[in-house]
Amino acid sequence: MMLRSTGLTLLMLLGLFSLQGCAMFSRSYSEPEVTLANVEMLKANLWEQSFRLRMRVDNPNDRSLPVRGMQYQVYLNGMRLATGVADRHFTVPAYGSEYFDLTVRSNLWRHLGGLLDMVEHQQPVDYRISGHINTGLFWARRLTLDEQGTLAPADLNLKR
Q: What are phi and psi of 115, to 5 degrees?
A: -65, -45
pLDDT at residue 16, rounded to an integer: 54
CA distances from 139 to 83, 134, 142, 154 (A): 26, 11, 9, 44
pLDDT at residue 59, rounded to an integer: 94
pLDDT per residue as tens, the chain (160 positions): 555 555 565 556 555 555 544 443 456 778 888 888 888 888 877 778 788 888 899 999 999 999 888 888 888 888 887 888 888 889 999 999 999 898 888 876 666 666 666 667 777 878 898 998 888 756 667 788 888 888 776 665 555 4
Q: What are phi and psi of 58, to 5 degrees?
A: -105, 125
Q: Does domain 30-151 have CATH number 2.60.40.1820?
A: yes
Per-domain residue ranges of the chain: 30-151
If you count them, how many residues does the chain have? 160
CA distances from 94 to 34, 77, 131, 157 (A): 15, 35, 23, 32
Q: 110 in helix, strand or coil?
A: helix
pLDDT at residue 41, rounded to an integer: 81
- H or E, element range at 98: strand 96-106
